[in-house]
Amino acid sequence: MAENLSDKNNKFLLDLLPGKLIDIQLNNPIQMRFKLTLIGYDVGKYLILKYPAQSGKNDYIDVLTEGNGAIVRYIIEDERGECVAFSTTILAISFRPERLVYLAYPKNVESRQLRETNRLRTHIPAKISLNKNYNLESENLLHGLIIDISPSGCRFVIHVSSGFLALKRRQVFVHIISPLDSKPVIISSFIRNNQMKDNKLNVGIEFSPDEQFKLHELLNAYSIDID
């Protein structure tokens, strides 16, 4: 779905914060893709990215050159779950005081949903453990909130003050207290991604297909309809 930036400029800027990792694809004279860090932008004029790290003076000069076209993509990991893309042109390459790539500010962006099902906004206290048999009161559990949920997964938010920032892609167990009997329901899950946003860590979690019946019963108890 294409969006005109004159109408959607604020949304675009909120998504593209300095420090965000950007995927840039160039097709001339050969196809190459880089993961570059966004330094900043001048609204309506250009975006500034870091030059590829640990590259020599003459590395990539045939593709990272003024006038070459490029396709930029980046992922929005929050509840929207979108891949955003736009076409642009390299305006300039600077070498001093630091090597930087200047891209033309996009006129239009396109976004594509990454999830097959929409997620509903929630505010459910939950905990994550790496082992199914952890006690619910264990200090090793990660305390947070489920802020959106669907039959296939959820987004779990942890405050930075929890002191745990190294979540990796792996199996975990989500502990949710049932409102019916105040007992924990433990759902086998898998961490798909995580991203810092403000002072919180947003964690994308995929539920195991074997847990669907348990999940539906739990959400029915919370009066959440995800069908």
Contacts of 154 (CB under 8 A, 6+ apart): 119, 122, 146, 147, 148, 174, 205, 207
pTM of the model: 0.54
- For the ranges 57-61, 74-78, 87-91, 214-218, the maximum mean pLDDT occurs at 87-91
Q: Is 163 left (phi over 0), alpha (psi -120 to 50) or beta?
A: left
Contact yes or no for 32/55 (Cβ under 8 A): no
Residues sharing a CB contact under 8 Å with residue 119, sequence separation 6 or more, in sequence order: 79, 81, 148, 149, 150, 153, 154, 155
Residues near 73 by beta carbon (within 8 Å), at least 6 away in sequence: 22, 23, 24, 25, 83, 84, 85
Lowest mean pLDDT among 105-109, 111-115, 202-206: 111-115
* pLDDT single digits (tens) 116-163: 556 678 889 999 988 887 665 555 678 899 988 887 888 899 886 654
Among 75, 223, 194, 213, which Cα is nearest to 151's? Answer: 213
Q: What pLDDT score was predicted for residue 88?
A: 94
DSSP for residue 96: S
- Residue 1: its pLDDT value, please? 45
